[in-house]
Structure 1
Protein backbone atom coordinates (compact mmCIF):
# COMPACT_ATOMS: atom_id res chain seq x y z
CA UNK A 1 0.00 0.00 0.00
CA UNK A 2 1.36 3.42 -0.89
CA UNK A 3 1.91 5.73 2.03
CA UNK A 4 -0.09 8.97 2.07
CA UNK A 5 2.14 11.51 3.84
CA UNK A 6 -0.66 14.11 3.99
CA UNK A 7 -3.10 11.76 5.72
CA UNK A 8 -3.04 12.99 9.35
CA UNK A 9 -4.14 9.66 10.76
CA UNK A 10 -1.51 7.70 8.85
CA UNK A 11 1.12 10.25 9.85
CA UNK A 12 0.17 9.61 13.48
CA UNK A 13 0.54 5.86 12.98
CA UNK A 14 3.97 6.32 11.39
CA UNK A 15 5.08 8.64 14.18
CA UNK A 16 3.93 6.15 16.80
CA UNK A 17 5.61 3.27 14.99
CA UNK A 18 8.95 5.10 14.80
CA UNK A 19 8.60 6.49 18.30
CA UNK A 20 8.01 3.03 19.75
CA UNK A 21 11.35 1.83 18.39
CA UNK A 22 13.23 4.98 19.38
CA UNK A 23 11.91 5.15 22.90
CA UNK A 24 12.58 1.56 23.88
CA UNK A 25 16.12 1.61 22.48
CA UNK A 26 19.06 1.77 24.86
CA UNK A 27 20.88 3.87 22.23
CA UNK A 28 19.92 5.38 18.90
CA UNK A 29 22.30 6.07 16.02
CA UNK A 30 20.95 8.53 13.48
CA UNK A 31 21.67 8.33 9.75
CA UNK A 32 20.14 10.16 6.76
CA UNK A 33 16.59 8.88 6.40
CA UNK A 34 16.37 6.86 9.59
CA UNK A 35 18.08 5.47 12.65
CA UNK A 36 19.48 2.35 14.26
CA UNK A 37 17.73 1.22 17.44
CA UNK A 38 20.18 -0.77 19.55
CA UNK A 39 20.27 -2.52 22.90
CA UNK A 40 23.31 -4.60 23.83
CA UNK A 41 21.39 -6.26 26.66
CA UNK A 42 19.22 -8.14 24.16
CA UNK A 43 21.47 -8.88 21.18
CA UNK A 44 19.33 -11.86 20.15
CA UNK A 45 16.23 -9.69 19.88
CA UNK A 46 15.71 -8.33 16.39
CA UNK A 47 12.98 -6.10 17.78
CA UNK A 48 15.61 -4.31 19.86
CA UNK A 49 18.43 -4.18 17.31
CA UNK A 50 17.65 -3.03 13.78
CA UNK A 51 17.59 -0.16 11.31
CA UNK A 52 14.38 1.77 10.74
CA UNK A 53 14.20 3.82 7.55
CA UNK A 54 11.33 6.29 7.94
CA UNK A 55 12.45 9.02 5.53
CA UNK A 56 14.37 9.59 2.28
CA UNK A 57 17.43 7.35 2.26
CA UNK A 58 20.09 6.12 -0.15
CA UNK A 59 19.05 2.56 -1.06
CA UNK A 60 22.49 1.65 -2.37
CA UNK A 61 24.05 2.56 0.97
CA UNK A 62 21.75 0.44 3.14
CA UNK A 63 23.62 -2.91 2.98
CA UNK A 64 26.92 -1.36 4.04
CA UNK A 65 25.17 0.80 6.63
CA UNK A 66 23.50 -2.24 8.15
CA UNK A 67 26.84 -4.04 8.30
CA UNK A 68 28.42 -1.03 9.98
CA UNK A 69 25.74 -0.50 12.60
CA UNK A 70 24.65 -4.11 13.18
CA UNK A 71 27.99 -5.82 12.55
CA UNK A 72 28.30 -6.93 16.17
CA UNK A 73 25.06 -8.93 15.94
CA UNK A 74 24.18 -12.39 14.58
CA UNK A 75 21.45 -10.88 12.39
CA UNK A 76 20.56 -7.96 10.14
CA UNK A 77 17.10 -6.38 10.12
CA UNK A 78 15.95 -3.30 8.23
CA UNK A 79 12.45 -1.80 8.38
CA UNK A 80 11.52 0.55 5.51
CA UNK A 81 8.30 2.55 5.83
CA UNK A 82 8.03 4.24 2.43
CA UNK A 83 7.04 2.10 -0.56
CA UNK A 84 9.27 3.91 -3.06
CA UNK A 85 12.34 3.70 -0.84
CA UNK A 86 11.58 0.02 -0.20
CA UNK A 87 11.24 -0.72 -3.92
CA UNK A 88 14.57 0.95 -4.64
CA UNK A 89 16.21 -0.86 -1.70
CA UNK A 90 15.00 -4.33 -2.56
CA UNK A 91 17.61 -5.08 -5.23
CA UNK A 92 20.67 -3.95 -3.25
CA UNK A 93 19.49 -5.71 -0.10
CA UNK A 94 18.52 -8.96 -1.84
CA UNK A 95 21.90 -8.94 -3.61
CA UNK A 96 23.43 -8.74 -0.12
CA UNK A 97 21.53 -11.86 0.99
CA UNK A 98 18.42 -10.34 2.56
CA UNK A 99 14.94 -11.85 2.38
CA UNK A 100 11.87 -9.64 2.18
CA UNK A 101 8.50 -9.63 3.91
CA UNK A 102 5.85 -7.11 4.91
CA UNK A 103 4.34 -6.06 8.20
CA UNK A 104 0.80 -4.72 8.13
CA UNK A 105 -0.09 -1.66 10.20
CA UNK A 106 -3.72 -2.26 11.12
CA UNK A 107 -6.04 0.40 12.53
CA UNK A 108 -9.06 -0.48 14.63
CA UNK A 109 -12.17 0.77 12.82
CA UNK A 110 -14.81 -1.20 14.68
CA UNK A 111 -16.86 -0.14 17.72
CA UNK A 112 -15.07 -0.06 21.04
CA UNK A 113 -15.80 -3.38 22.75
CA UNK A 114 -16.86 -3.91 26.32
CA UNK A 115 -14.10 -4.62 28.80
CA UNK A 116 -12.89 -8.18 28.25
CA UNK A 117 -12.08 -8.95 31.86
CA UNK A 118 -8.31 -8.78 31.57
CA UNK A 119 -6.18 -7.10 34.19
CA UNK A 120 -2.72 -5.54 34.45
CA UNK A 121 0.14 -7.89 35.28
CA UNK A 122 3.84 -7.31 35.77
CA UNK A 123 6.76 -8.72 33.82
CA UNK A 124 7.42 -11.32 36.50
CA UNK A 125 4.01 -12.93 36.08
CA UNK A 126 4.55 -13.18 32.32
CA UNK A 127 8.09 -14.54 32.48
CA UNK A 128 7.13 -18.22 32.65
CA UNK A 129 4.32 -18.15 30.06
CA UNK A 130 6.44 -16.06 27.68
CA UNK A 131 9.40 -18.43 27.95
CA UNK A 132 7.19 -21.39 27.14
CA UNK A 133 5.58 -19.56 24.22
CA UNK A 134 8.92 -18.60 22.66
CA UNK A 135 10.04 -22.23 22.73
CA UNK A 136 6.84 -23.11 20.90
CA UNK A 137 7.26 -20.38 18.29
CA UNK A 138 10.96 -21.03 17.69
CA UNK A 139 11.82 -24.71 18.26
CA UNK A 140 15.51 -25.19 18.99
CA UNK A 141 15.97 -21.67 20.31
CA UNK A 142 18.77 -21.45 22.89
CA UNK A 143 18.31 -20.59 26.55
CA UNK A 144 20.19 -17.32 25.99
CA UNK A 145 17.94 -16.34 23.10
CA UNK A 146 14.81 -17.06 25.14
CA UNK A 147 16.23 -15.02 28.00
CA UNK A 148 16.76 -12.00 25.74
CA UNK A 149 13.33 -12.27 24.13
CA UNK A 150 11.58 -12.53 27.48
CA UNK A 151 13.59 -9.97 29.42
CA UNK A 152 13.33 -7.31 26.71
CA UNK A 153 9.92 -6.55 28.18
CA UNK A 154 11.78 -4.34 30.68
CA UNK A 155 13.01 -2.11 27.84
CA UNK A 156 9.48 -1.75 26.55
CA UNK A 157 8.43 0.07 29.68
CA UNK A 158 9.97 3.15 28.07
CA UNK A 159 8.26 2.74 24.69
CA UNK A 160 5.25 4.96 25.49
CA UNK A 161 3.95 7.35 28.12
CA UNK A 162 1.76 4.64 29.65
CA UNK A 163 2.74 0.99 29.17
CA UNK A 164 0.50 -1.81 30.43
CA UNK A 165 0.95 -5.55 30.27
CA UNK A 166 -2.49 -7.17 30.32
CA UNK A 167 -3.59 -10.76 30.83
CA UNK A 168 -6.71 -12.87 31.02
CA UNK A 169 -6.62 -15.72 33.51
CA UNK A 170 -8.33 -19.08 33.79
CA UNK A 171 -10.67 -19.80 36.69
CA UNK A 172 -7.68 -21.41 38.41
CA UNK A 173 -5.64 -18.21 38.10
CA UNK A 174 -3.35 -19.37 35.30
CA UNK A 175 -2.32 -16.81 32.67
CA UNK A 176 -4.18 -17.83 29.52
CA UNK A 177 -3.60 -14.94 27.11
CA UNK A 178 -1.62 -11.70 27.31
CA UNK A 179 -0.88 -8.54 25.34
CA UNK A 180 1.12 -5.30 25.55
CA UNK A 181 -0.66 -1.93 25.42
CA UNK A 182 1.29 1.26 24.66
CA UNK A 183 -0.66 4.45 25.33
CA UNK A 184 0.27 8.02 24.41
CA UNK A 185 -2.86 9.96 25.45
CA UNK A 186 -1.29 13.35 24.68
CA UNK A 187 -1.42 12.52 20.97
CA UNK A 188 -4.33 10.08 21.20
CA UNK A 189 -2.55 6.95 19.96
CA UNK A 190 -2.52 3.42 21.34
CA UNK A 191 -0.43 0.55 20.01
CA UNK A 192 -1.34 -3.05 20.80
CA UNK A 193 1.41 -5.65 20.40
CA UNK A 194 2.51 -9.19 21.15
CA UNK A 195 -0.84 -10.83 21.74
CA UNK A 196 -0.12 -14.42 22.75
CA UNK A 197 -2.25 -17.29 24.04
CA UNK A 198 -0.77 -20.19 25.99
CA UNK A 199 -0.93 -23.39 23.95
CA UNK A 200 -3.15 -25.18 26.47
CA UNK A 201 -5.77 -22.45 26.15
CA UNK A 202 -5.95 -21.91 22.40
CA UNK A 203 -9.40 -21.74 20.84
CA UNK A 204 -11.18 -20.87 24.08
CA UNK A 205 -11.82 -17.16 23.51
CA UNK A 206 -9.08 -15.82 25.74
CA UNK A 207 -7.31 -13.89 22.96
CA UNK A 208 -10.50 -12.05 22.09
CA UNK A 209 -11.05 -11.14 25.72
CA UNK A 210 -7.57 -9.72 26.24
CA UNK A 211 -7.77 -7.81 22.94
CA UNK A 212 -11.14 -6.38 23.97
CA UNK A 213 -9.59 -5.33 27.27
CA UNK A 214 -6.78 -3.49 25.49
CA UNK A 215 -9.13 -1.72 23.07
CA UNK A 216 -11.51 -0.73 25.84
CA UNK A 217 -8.71 0.66 28.04
CA UNK A 218 -7.21 2.53 25.09
CA UNK A 219 -10.52 4.25 24.38
CA UNK A 220 -10.95 4.95 28.08
CA UNK A 221 -7.55 6.71 27.99
CA UNK A 222 -8.81 8.98 25.17
CA UNK A 223 -6.72 7.26 22.51
CA UNK A 224 -8.91 7.56 19.43
CA UNK A 225 -6.32 5.96 17.12
CA UNK A 226 -5.75 2.33 18.04
CA UNK A 227 -3.49 0.14 15.90
CA UNK A 228 -1.23 -2.90 15.82
CA UNK A 229 1.24 -4.58 13.48
CA UNK A 230 0.86 -8.06 11.99
CA UNK A 231 2.94 -10.22 9.69
CA UNK A 232 1.30 -10.31 6.27
CA UNK A 233 2.38 -13.93 5.67
CA UNK A 234 0.81 -15.32 8.84
CA UNK A 235 -2.82 -15.92 9.76
CA UNK A 236 -3.43 -13.56 12.74
CA UNK A 237 -4.08 -10.53 10.54
CA UNK A 238 -7.19 -12.30 9.23
CA UNK A 239 -8.37 -12.76 12.81
CA UNK A 240 -7.71 -9.07 13.52
CA UNK A 241 -9.81 -8.14 10.49
CA UNK A 242 -12.71 -10.03 12.02
CA UNK A 243 -12.17 -8.03 15.21
CA UNK A 244 -12.62 -4.68 13.44
CA UNK A 245 -9.10 -3.90 12.21
CA UNK A 246 -8.31 -2.67 8.70
CA UNK A 247 -4.95 -2.34 6.95
CA UNK A 248 -3.79 1.29 7.08
CA UNK A 249 -0.32 0.80 5.57
CA UNK A 250 2.55 -1.64 5.26
CA UNK A 251 6.15 -1.65 6.45
CA UNK A 252 8.71 -3.51 4.38
CA UNK A 253 11.03 -5.83 6.27
CA UNK A 254 14.45 -6.96 5.03
CA UNK A 255 16.20 -9.63 7.09
CA UNK A 256 19.37 -11.70 7.02
CA UNK A 257 20.72 -14.20 9.50
Structure 2
Protein backbone atom coordinates (compact mmCIF):
# COMPACT_ATOMS: atom_id res chain seq x y z
CA UNK A 1 0.00 0.00 0.00
CA UNK A 2 1.41 3.42 -1.00
CA UNK A 3 1.81 6.33 1.40
CA UNK A 4 -1.15 8.09 -0.21
CA UNK A 5 -3.30 4.98 0.16
CA UNK A 6 -2.31 4.64 3.82
CA UNK A 7 -3.20 8.26 4.46
CA UNK A 8 -6.50 7.89 2.62
CA UNK A 9 -7.29 4.85 4.76
CA UNK A 10 -6.48 6.74 7.95
CA UNK A 11 -8.61 9.71 6.86
CA UNK A 12 -11.53 7.46 5.93
CA UNK A 13 -11.29 5.72 9.31
CA UNK A 14 -11.33 9.12 11.05
CA UNK A 15 -14.51 10.07 9.20
CA UNK A 16 -16.18 6.72 9.90
CA UNK A 17 -15.36 6.97 13.60
CA UNK A 18 -16.61 10.56 13.72
CA UNK A 19 -19.92 9.47 12.20
CA UNK A 20 -20.31 6.73 14.80
CA UNK A 21 -19.43 8.96 17.74
CA UNK A 22 -21.86 11.74 16.82
CA UNK A 23 -24.72 9.38 15.92
CA UNK A 24 -27.81 9.21 18.08
CA UNK A 25 -28.17 5.57 17.05
CA UNK A 26 -26.03 3.09 15.08
CA UNK A 27 -27.42 0.01 13.37
CA UNK A 28 -24.88 -2.65 12.41
CA UNK A 29 -25.03 -4.78 9.27
CA UNK A 30 -22.65 -7.18 7.55
CA UNK A 31 -19.90 -4.98 6.11
CA UNK A 32 -21.86 -1.80 6.79
CA UNK A 33 -23.56 0.33 9.40
CA UNK A 34 -26.23 3.01 9.44
CA UNK A 35 -26.21 6.17 11.53
CA UNK A 36 -29.62 7.51 12.51
CA UNK A 37 -30.94 10.55 14.32
CA UNK A 38 -34.68 11.07 14.64
CA UNK A 39 -34.31 14.63 15.93
CA UNK A 40 -32.51 15.61 12.71
CA UNK A 41 -34.16 13.22 10.30
CA UNK A 42 -33.67 15.62 7.38
CA UNK A 43 -29.89 15.71 7.80
CA UNK A 44 -28.15 13.41 5.33
CA UNK A 45 -24.98 13.70 7.43
CA UNK A 46 -26.72 12.17 10.44
CA UNK A 47 -28.88 9.62 8.63
CA UNK A 48 -26.99 7.51 6.13
CA UNK A 49 -25.55 4.10 5.36
CA UNK A 50 -21.78 3.53 5.46
CA UNK A 51 -20.57 0.58 3.41
CA UNK A 52 -17.16 -1.01 3.92
CA UNK A 53 -17.71 -4.17 1.85
CA UNK A 54 -20.55 -5.97 0.11
CA UNK A 55 -20.80 -9.48 -1.31
CA UNK A 56 -23.56 -8.26 -3.62
CA UNK A 57 -23.15 -4.57 -4.64
CA UNK A 58 -26.47 -4.71 -6.49
CA UNK A 59 -28.23 -5.27 -3.15
CA UNK A 60 -27.09 -1.99 -1.57
CA UNK A 61 -30.30 -0.15 -2.48
CA UNK A 62 -32.30 -2.81 -0.69
CA UNK A 63 -30.04 -2.61 2.36
CA UNK A 64 -30.49 1.16 2.44
CA UNK A 65 -34.26 0.75 2.28
CA UNK A 66 -34.10 -1.74 5.14
CA UNK A 67 -31.96 0.38 7.46
CA UNK A 68 -33.12 3.89 6.43
CA UNK A 69 -36.70 2.93 5.68
CA UNK A 70 -38.37 5.57 7.81
CA UNK A 71 -36.59 8.47 6.12
CA UNK A 72 -37.63 10.52 3.12
CA UNK A 73 -34.09 10.39 1.71
CA UNK A 74 -31.39 7.81 1.11
CA UNK A 75 -27.63 8.30 1.33
CA UNK A 76 -25.00 5.59 0.93
CA UNK A 77 -21.33 6.34 1.59
CA UNK A 78 -18.82 3.96 0.00
CA UNK A 79 -15.09 4.07 0.70
CA UNK A 80 -13.86 1.59 -1.90
CA UNK A 81 -13.73 2.77 -5.49
CA UNK A 82 -14.13 -0.68 -7.02
CA UNK A 83 -17.18 -1.36 -4.88
CA UNK A 84 -18.68 2.01 -5.83
CA UNK A 85 -18.13 1.27 -9.52
CA UNK A 86 -19.77 -2.13 -9.17
CA UNK A 87 -22.75 -0.72 -7.26
CA UNK A 88 -23.27 2.38 -9.41
CA UNK A 89 -25.39 0.94 -12.27
CA UNK A 90 -28.02 -0.53 -9.96
CA UNK A 91 -28.10 2.53 -7.70
CA UNK A 92 -28.39 4.96 -10.61
CA UNK A 93 -31.20 2.84 -12.03
CA UNK A 94 -32.93 3.09 -8.63
CA UNK A 95 -32.90 6.89 -8.80
CA UNK A 96 -29.70 7.67 -6.93
CA UNK A 97 -27.15 10.29 -7.94
CA UNK A 98 -23.42 9.56 -7.64
CA UNK A 99 -21.04 12.12 -6.14
CA UNK A 100 -17.28 11.77 -5.73
CA UNK A 101 -15.47 13.37 -2.79
CA UNK A 102 -11.78 14.24 -2.78
CA UNK A 103 -9.79 13.61 0.38
CA UNK A 104 -7.28 16.47 0.48
CA UNK A 105 -4.31 16.72 2.85
CA UNK A 106 -2.48 19.94 3.63
CA UNK A 107 1.06 19.61 2.27
CA UNK A 108 2.08 23.23 2.00
CA UNK A 109 3.66 25.47 4.63
CA UNK A 110 1.44 27.03 7.26
CA UNK A 111 0.01 30.41 6.23
CA UNK A 112 2.02 33.42 7.31
CA UNK A 113 -0.81 34.65 9.51
CA UNK A 114 -2.64 32.58 12.09
CA UNK A 115 -5.81 34.66 12.15
CA UNK A 116 -5.06 36.12 15.57
CA UNK A 117 -7.23 39.14 16.27
CA UNK A 118 -9.62 38.35 13.45
CA UNK A 119 -10.64 34.74 14.14
CA UNK A 120 -11.97 33.33 17.40
CA UNK A 121 -13.72 30.23 18.64
CA UNK A 122 -17.50 30.70 18.81
CA UNK A 123 -20.37 28.73 20.29
CA UNK A 124 -23.39 27.30 18.53
CA UNK A 125 -25.75 30.06 19.64
CA UNK A 126 -23.30 32.78 18.60
CA UNK A 127 -22.92 31.35 15.09
CA UNK A 128 -26.59 30.55 14.58
CA UNK A 129 -27.86 33.82 13.01
CA UNK A 130 -25.13 33.93 10.36
CA UNK A 131 -25.38 30.22 9.58
CA UNK A 132 -29.17 30.26 9.37
CA UNK A 133 -29.13 33.23 7.00
CA UNK A 134 -26.61 31.49 4.74
CA UNK A 135 -28.67 28.30 4.65
CA UNK A 136 -31.64 30.42 3.54
CA UNK A 137 -29.52 31.62 0.63
CA UNK A 138 -28.35 28.11 -0.26
CA UNK A 139 -31.83 26.56 -0.01
CA UNK A 140 -34.34 29.34 -0.70
CA UNK A 141 -37.21 26.90 -1.26
CA UNK A 142 -36.73 24.97 2.01
CA UNK A 143 -39.10 25.26 4.93
CA UNK A 144 -38.14 26.85 8.23
CA UNK A 145 -38.32 23.40 9.84
CA UNK A 146 -35.67 22.01 7.48
CA UNK A 147 -33.40 25.01 7.95
CA UNK A 148 -33.70 24.73 11.72
CA UNK A 149 -32.58 21.11 11.50
CA UNK A 150 -29.58 22.01 9.36
CA UNK A 151 -28.46 24.57 11.91
CA UNK A 152 -29.49 22.68 15.02
CA UNK A 153 -27.64 19.49 14.07
CA UNK A 154 -24.34 21.21 14.83
CA UNK A 155 -24.70 20.19 18.49
CA UNK A 156 -24.29 16.53 17.51
CA UNK A 157 -20.81 17.19 16.13
CA UNK A 158 -19.54 18.06 19.59
CA UNK A 159 -19.40 14.32 20.34
CA UNK A 160 -17.63 13.33 17.12
CA UNK A 161 -13.98 13.82 18.12
CA UNK A 162 -11.74 14.52 21.09
CA UNK A 163 -11.76 18.22 20.24
CA UNK A 164 -14.49 19.96 18.21
CA UNK A 165 -14.26 23.71 17.75
CA UNK A 166 -15.97 26.21 15.50
CA UNK A 167 -13.80 29.11 14.37
CA UNK A 168 -15.27 32.31 12.95
CA UNK A 169 -14.00 35.55 11.46
CA UNK A 170 -15.84 38.81 11.98
CA UNK A 171 -16.25 41.48 9.36
CA UNK A 172 -15.48 45.15 9.94
CA UNK A 173 -18.94 45.71 11.42
CA UNK A 174 -18.37 42.97 14.01
CA UNK A 175 -20.72 40.45 12.41
CA UNK A 176 -19.61 36.89 11.70
CA UNK A 177 -18.72 36.57 8.02
CA UNK A 178 -16.97 33.17 7.72
CA UNK A 179 -16.65 30.03 9.80
CA UNK A 180 -15.40 26.44 9.86
CA UNK A 181 -15.27 23.45 12.17
CA UNK A 182 -11.99 21.95 13.37
CA UNK A 183 -12.01 18.34 14.58
CA UNK A 184 -8.95 16.81 16.25
CA UNK A 185 -8.36 13.17 17.16
CA UNK A 186 -5.48 12.76 19.60
CA UNK A 187 -4.89 9.04 19.08
CA UNK A 188 -4.40 9.24 15.31
CA UNK A 189 -2.93 12.75 15.22
CA UNK A 190 -5.42 13.70 12.51
CA UNK A 191 -7.33 16.95 12.23
CA UNK A 192 -10.20 17.76 9.88
CA UNK A 193 -11.34 21.17 8.67
CA UNK A 194 -15.01 20.92 7.81
CA UNK A 195 -17.94 23.10 6.82
CA UNK A 196 -15.83 26.11 5.76
CA UNK A 197 -18.24 28.79 4.58
CA UNK A 198 -18.32 32.52 3.92
CA UNK A 199 -21.58 34.46 4.05
CA UNK A 200 -22.40 35.46 0.49
CA UNK A 201 -22.68 39.23 1.14
CA UNK A 202 -19.24 39.19 2.79
CA UNK A 203 -17.22 37.31 0.20
CA UNK A 204 -14.06 38.69 -1.34
CA UNK A 205 -12.82 40.18 1.93
CA UNK A 206 -10.39 37.47 2.98
CA UNK A 207 -12.58 36.14 5.77
CA UNK A 208 -12.52 32.54 4.51
CA UNK A 209 -8.73 32.67 4.17
CA UNK A 210 -8.43 33.96 7.72
CA UNK A 211 -10.55 31.11 9.10
CA UNK A 212 -8.66 28.50 7.09
CA UNK A 213 -5.31 29.88 8.28
CA UNK A 214 -6.47 29.88 11.90
CA UNK A 215 -7.70 26.30 11.61
CA UNK A 216 -4.42 25.11 10.09
CA UNK A 217 -2.36 26.76 12.83
CA UNK A 218 -4.56 25.39 15.61
CA UNK A 219 -4.49 21.91 14.12
CA UNK A 220 -0.70 21.95 13.80
CA UNK A 221 -0.36 23.03 17.42
CA UNK A 222 -2.33 20.03 18.72
CA UNK A 223 -0.16 17.47 20.58
CA UNK A 224 0.89 14.61 18.32
CA UNK A 225 -0.42 16.32 15.20
CA UNK A 226 0.21 14.21 12.09
CA UNK A 227 -1.80 15.80 9.31
CA UNK A 228 -4.74 18.06 8.54
CA UNK A 229 -7.29 17.15 5.89
CA UNK A 230 -10.58 18.26 4.40
CA UNK A 231 -13.12 16.86 1.96
CA UNK A 232 -14.01 18.59 -1.31
CA UNK A 233 -16.53 17.86 -4.03
CA UNK A 234 -14.63 16.46 -7.03
CA UNK A 235 -17.01 18.27 -9.39
CA UNK A 236 -16.97 21.72 -7.78
CA UNK A 237 -14.61 24.70 -7.74
CA UNK A 238 -13.55 24.80 -4.03
CA UNK A 239 -11.09 21.96 -4.65
CA UNK A 240 -9.00 24.36 -6.75
CA UNK A 241 -9.21 27.07 -4.07
CA UNK A 242 -7.91 24.56 -1.52
CA UNK A 243 -5.17 23.37 -3.89
CA UNK A 244 -3.84 26.92 -4.15
CA UNK A 245 -3.59 26.93 -0.37
CA UNK A 246 -1.48 23.80 -0.10
CA UNK A 247 -4.00 20.94 -0.13
CA UNK A 248 -3.29 17.84 -2.22
CA UNK A 249 -5.75 15.03 -3.13
CA UNK A 250 -4.75 11.64 -1.71
CA UNK A 251 -7.87 9.61 -2.41
CA UNK A 252 -11.56 9.54 -3.20
CA UNK A 253 -14.74 8.36 -1.56
CA UNK A 254 -18.19 7.99 -3.07
CA UNK A 255 -21.69 9.00 -2.04
CA UNK A 256 -24.95 7.84 -3.60
CA UNK A 257 -27.96 9.98 -2.76
CA UNK A 258 -31.67 9.84 -3.47
CA UNK A 259 -33.68 12.85 -2.33
TM-score, normalised via structure 2 length: 0.94
Aligned partner of 1:94 in structure 2 is 92
**Residue-by-residue CA offset, 1:199-224 (whole Å, 9 max, x unaligned):** 22101110000000000000000322
Aligned partner of 2:251 in structure 1 is 249
Deviation at 1:56, TM superposition (A): 4.4
Structure 1: segments with no counterpart, 5+ residues: none
Q: What SS class does the counterpart of residue 124 from structure 1 fall into?
A: helix
**Residue-by-residue CA offset, 1:170-227 (whole Å, 9 max, x unaligned):** 2332101000000112210001100011122101110000000000000000322100
Partner Cα separation in structure 2 for residue 106 and residue 54 of structure 1: 20
Aligned partner of 2:178 in structure 1 is 177
User: Structure 1 residues 141 and 22, CA, compared in 2 at 3 Å: closer, same or farther?
Assistant: same
Aligned partner of 1:145 in structure 2 is 146
User: Structure 1 residues 254 and 5, CA, compared in 2 at 3 Å: closer, same or farther?
Assistant: farther
Query: Is residue 2:131 matched to residue 1:133?
Result: no
Aligned partner of 2:210 in structure 1 is 209
Query: Is residue 2:42 matched to residue 1:44?
Result: yes
Structure 2: segments with no counterpart, 5+ residues: none
Partner Cα separation in structure 2 for residue 145 and residue 243 of structure 1: 33
Deviation at 1:6, TM superposition (A): 8.9
Aligned partner of 1:16 in structure 2 is 14
Number of residue pairs aligned between Structure 1 and Structure 2: 255
Matched ranges for 1:116-127 at <5 A? 116-117=115-116, 118-127=119-128
Moved over 6 A (4+): none
Q: Given that residues 134 and 199 in structure 2 are in contact (C-alpha distance below 8 angstroms), is that contact kept between their aligned partners in structure 1?
A: yes
Deviation at 1:57, TM superposition (A): 4.8
Aligned partner of 1:157 in structure 2 is 158
Q: Given that residues 4 and 250 in structure 2 are in contact (C-alpha distance below 8 angstroms), is that contact kept between their aligned partners in structure 1?
A: no
Q: Given that residues 179 and 193 in structure 1 are in contact (C-alpha distance below 8 angstroms), is that contact kept between their aligned partners in structure 2?
A: yes
Deviation at 1:34, TM superposition (A): 1.8
Q: Given that residues 4 and 10 in structure 1 are in contact (C-alpha distance below 8 angstroms), is that contact kept between their aligned partners in structure 2?
A: no
Aligned partner of 2:26 in structure 1 is 28
Query: Is residue 2:236 matched to residue 1:229?
Result: no
